[in-house]
Structure 1
């Protein structure tokens, strides 16, 4: 067990913290430095934004109102940390240990927390009489293990495979979150909102929320959708034949309104120039290396889709959902047309971040 929490580490200045983080980044890069030791440290209101903090130990730390915006915190330990009102937008928290952490008022929208552990946790300390005391004992330390983190914003987060067992998440906002394979056994989710969330491979009985909290959710592929696999595959094959023969054989594919998820990996490296895929469900589909010039993806749900190294010149994504989609190395330049005109990629009204698009190939 740990020493009495009343003996908290003194708060560093911003300058001192920046120096500690720099040494941690050098340690991670194997260029000297030392691993940061910030467990049980008061870091309230300090700036840890846009830094590489992989595997950092912040267990029991107080980060009330701190900014961790866009930092890489993969495999970090936030065990029983106080993250109330913290800014965790766009952070990477893959496989982070966040058991027992308090998130009341924190913002985590657009963060990636895949495989993070957010179950209930309680930190035990040795009191002045050497007897064990829980984190939620009276005193200057807030009751992290029992704090009600209502109002925490998980909207649009990627939280695939996250463990929420026994977590207290009353009033949490999961709107638009990617929650594939997440577990919620015995979680307290009163007034939680899952509107538009992706809840595939999730036991909905564990959520125990009213139907209005699940409006617009994307659930597991239905047997009826799976049964359309052959039909959708044939459409793609005819489209490819139409392209190869210059239109003398086959016909252009129209996928408008379809759930394309049964096609899974059949889209990798495929010729699909001019594909019509308006309003499709294409969550996490893999279009890597495909030819999708002038494709029409208006209002499609393509969250988490992989467009790495795809040719997207002139494609239209008007109103599409693209959060957490991958565009690394994708060609998003304008497409030359006959007559010397150019067709630009259209992202009007699309849900996508600058950080995602910055990874596309330079135009």
Structure 2
């Protein structure tokens, strides 16, 4: 059937036979097609594990939620395909064309996206050839929120690739062209980015701890609020890169205020003085790991600041502008965020629980589009807070007051809402909650 055009009814029959193969039914055959045309067809939710789809033309087809674990897609054309939520662990994607494809929330753990092409040998049989210099076409592909742990993608990505909030732990991106790509909030811990082209890349909030950036080109890249150490960038080219400002780059008066406050905290109030940053502009400042507990940041501008791993217990962030601020694993117990704006902020693993003598308040606060994965918001007063399109996976909302809150479009996979007050809350288009629970919450709103 080489080069045959497959229609939906034929595809359904082949898929049914493949299900029998996966169940080890006698006489059932694995789906094995080469160079056939199956464009703009629907594979959504189907089980294609271990299928052979070498060189297939699958442009525009839908694979939403499909199981492609271990599938061989060597040299296939998936331009513009929808692979949202698909399982592609251990899949062979060498030489695969993924330009403008959507792989949002897809699992590509240990998949192989390196280069390769198909050629015919002298007897006419197709033979896969592994190359070092050709490019797999992925320009404009979206891997937003996808799992790319330990993926191999040497030189495989294309410009304008979207890796927002993707988990790329230990991935191999050696020599990859990520120019003008979006990596905002991605986890790149232990990833190999040596010799990669990251010029003009948006890397705000990226976690680069332990990544290999030897001879990587970061010219013009935006690393504000990213988590890294000077050693991580030691051998990288960082000309014109946008980096966070350290304390030493601030005005002398603000430096003094910070150091006086640190002395005040360490001496339990005997030395130094408590800091009041009300209305102060601290955009893109790097204060990671600093203890500024009980300081006042009311109406302050903290846009793009790095406050990761810091201690900000009982701080007042009322009406503060915290768009894109990195609060990763920060201690925010007892902090107040009333009417603050934290659009696209990163609060992974942050602790926002109330302290015994008071409640954490986030009344009328906006966390729209923020990443709060694994954050602890138990018992918080989040009346009328906005979590629209936020990443709220495994967040602890137990016993929180979330009356009138908006979760429209948010991802609540694994979130704990036990005992939370949700009167009037909006859960339209949320992801990760059981359908029955969403219907019940919607009825309660009405």
**TM-score normalised according to structure 1 size:** 0.65
Q: Match of 1:51?
A: 46
Q: Shift of residue 28 of structure 1?
A: 4.0
Q: Match of 2:425?
A: 345
Q: Match of 2:93?
A: 98
Q: Give a deviation string over 1:127-151, Cα, whole Å, max 9, x none.
A: 3378x86669xxxxxx9x9466253
Change (3 A) 1:354 1:309: same
Q: Match of 2:8?
A: 14
Q: Shift of residue 185 of structure 1?
A: 0.2
Q: Match of 1:156?
A: 144
Structure 2 residue 374 is the aligned partner of structure 1 residue 285: yes
Q: Shift of residue 125 of structure 1?
A: 4.2
Structure 1 contact 159–177 (Cα < 8 Å) conserved: no
Q: Match of 1:34?
A: 28
Q: Match of 1:126?
A: 121
Structure 1 contact 112–159 (Cα < 8 Å) conserved: yes
- Where do 1:77-88 residues align within 5 Å? 77-88=72-83
| One of 151, 168, 180 as aligned partner of 1:180 | 168
Q: Match of 1:216?
A: 204
Structure 1 contact 39–61 (Cα < 8 Å) conserved: yes
5+ residue gaps, structure 1, are: 1-6, 137-142, 236-250, 336-341
Q: Match of 1:238?
A: none
| One of 391, 394, 405 as aligned partner of 1:306 | 394
Counterpart of 1:343 in 2: which secondary structure?
A: coil
- In structure 1, how many angstroms separate the alpha carbons of the residues matched to 2:289 and 2:181? 28
Q: Give a deviation string over 1:232-258, Cα, whole Å, max 9, x none.
A: 6x77xxxxxxxxxxxxxxx97226579
Counterpart of 2:53 in 1: which secondary structure?
A: coil
5+ residue gaps, structure 2, are: 209-226, 230-286, 292-308, 315-331, 441-446
Higher helix share: 1
Structure with larger RCO (C-alpha < 8 A, sep 6+)? 1
Structure 2 contact 155–176 (Cα < 8 Å) conserved: yes
Q: Match of 1:169?
A: 157
Change (3 A) 1:310 1:92: farther
- In structure 2, how many angstroms separate the alpha carbons of the residues matched to 1:169 and 1:291? 40
